[in-house]
Amino acid sequence: MTTSSPEFRDLLLEGTGPAGTILFRVDAGRAPGLSYGHLSRCLLLSRGLRQRGADTALLMGGLPDGVAYARSQGERVLAPTPEALRRASVRTLVIDLPYDPEPELLEAARSAGLLLAYLDDTGRSHIAADVVLNSSILATPDMYPLVRTALLGPAHFFMPPEDAALSRRCGGRTASNVPGAPVAPNTPAIPSAQSSPVTQPTPDTRPRVALTFGGSDPTGLTGKVLATLAEAALPLSLTVILGPGFAAETPIEPLAESLAATVIRAPERLLPILCDADLVLCAGGRTLYECHALGLATLAIASTDNEAAVIAAFLARGMLSSGLAAWDAKLFMKEISTICASVSSRASRPL
């Protein structure tokens, strides 16, 4: 996977010029099929484009938690109305939504002659645009017959440079923890004649597991996983990461406390935390692609039908340690028990 998508960014700037404005139509919040992945990549693109001299703003709908988070990241947020497009400096509209945007917004963009670009994950063949970027593993060239330029597949998945740089650290640290990886040979230490016996601390062989299910986890996978782990009493060192829009109906803290888990809410950077784990539990969205890019052992659980198809494609290509097409407590326990037993076995062997 590449660590950025300069081709897409350059195409956006082509339509903008050095002093133009690029608008992003995006939503985020705790809603089925939405969460925060769309906003995360728009924030990344927006920051990069401003560094290249462009002006940017986000057009967001009525989900207040997503709007508040965007503003907390220093973004200018406007209502998604045609009036926002009629400023003389607006040259480009980028749409990143799991559903179609407002028809009047599209009509205004086309009437103004704006460059129209989509970030799409599902292959909606009716999209008519200048540019589409679909980094999904499921993307195929026949998906977009009405698009001038289509950038398709995981080669166009993009990450911040500071996160992409973690691949060396993560790959080197976690390689021996992936089931099936080679085990270092036992090399006994040669005692010095002057040395005295030193009592070594007992190593903690519990697998380190990090759990994150998106910015808001609208299908409640966090609670389901924690409840299942609490019942099974697996010996784990567990870190639970909750996104900025997380608001579970059942409080997570009592479950986490029963598991002696560390709970982290809305971390500034997610991936360094995941790199310290032997196993990552996540859904089938952006985090799955990030884990693959960093070489992390991952158990993915689909929260939507599209995520189920993505996970199946990752598994078929040998790009994923383990995955479930839907939540199933028994299958989950079978998969995580197998992976964690392998990790514990390797950790308990003397070097």
If you average pLDDT over residues 297-306, what whole number do you get? Answer: 94
Share of the chain above pLDDT 70, in %: 85
If you average pLDDT over residues 9-17, what whole number do you get? Answer: 78
Model pLDDT for residues 200-228, shown as the tens digit of each residue: 555 677 999 999 998 889 889 999 999 99
Query: What is the number of alpha carbons within 13 Å of residue 204 lying toward its C-beta?
Result: 8
Alpha carbons 66 and 83: distance in angstroms, whole number? 22
Model pLDDT for residues 121-141, shown as the tens digit of each residue: 889 999 999 999 999 999 999
Residue-range domains of the chain with CATH: 6-158 (3.40.50.11190), 162-179+204-348 (3.40.50.2000)
Residues found in the chain: 351
The DSSP bridge partners found for residue 78 are: 59
pLDDT category at 2 given cuts 50, 70, 90 is very low
Lowest mean pLDDT among 11-25, 48-62, 258-272: 11-25
Q: Which residue has the tokens 């985020």?
A: 28
Kindly write down the DSSP assignment for every residue of 196-263, as one continuous string.
---PPPPP--S-EEEEE-TTT-TT-HHHHHHHHHHHHT---EEEEEE-TT---SS-SHHHHHHTT-EE
Lowest mean pLDDT among 133-137, 167-171, 189-193, 223-227: 189-193
If you average pLDDT over residues 321-332, what whole number do you get? Answer: 96
Structure tokens at 324: 């479930």
Q: What pLDDT is attached to residue 18? A: 54
Evaluate whether 311 touches 284 at the Cβ level (below 8 Å). Answer: yes
Residue 308 has pLDDT above 80, yes or no: yes
**Phi and psi (nearest 5°) for 103?**
-55, -40
Q: Which helix (H) or strand (E) holds 289?
A: helix 286-294
Evaluate whether 43 touches 77 at the Cβ level (below 8 Å). Answer: no
pLDDT category at 5 given cuts 50, 70, 90 is low
Evaluate whether 333 touches 232 at the Cβ level (below 8 Å). Answer: yes
Q: Residue 133: helix, strand or coil by DSSP? A: strand
Residue 288 has pLDDT above 90, yes or no: yes
pTM of the model: 0.79
Q: What pLDDT is attached to residue 29? A: 85
Distance of CA 329 to the CA centre of its chain: 23
Lowest mean pLDDT among 62-71, 126-135, 142-151: 62-71
pLDDT category at 170 given cuts 50, 70, 90 is confident
Q: What pLDDT is attached to residue 185? A: 32
Residue 190 has pLDDT above 60, yes or no: no
Model pLDDT for residues 23-45, shown as the tens digit of each residue: 999 999 877 778 788 999 999 99
| Average pLDDT for the chain | 85
Residue 271 has pLDDT above 50, yes or no: yes
Q: What is the longest distance spanned by two Cα atoms in the chain? A: 85
Model pLDDT for residues 226-255, shown as the tens digit of each residue: 999 999 988 999 999 998 888 877 788 899
Residue 188 has pLDDT above 90, yes or no: no
Evaluate whether 211 touches 240 at the Cβ level (below 8 Å). Answer: yes
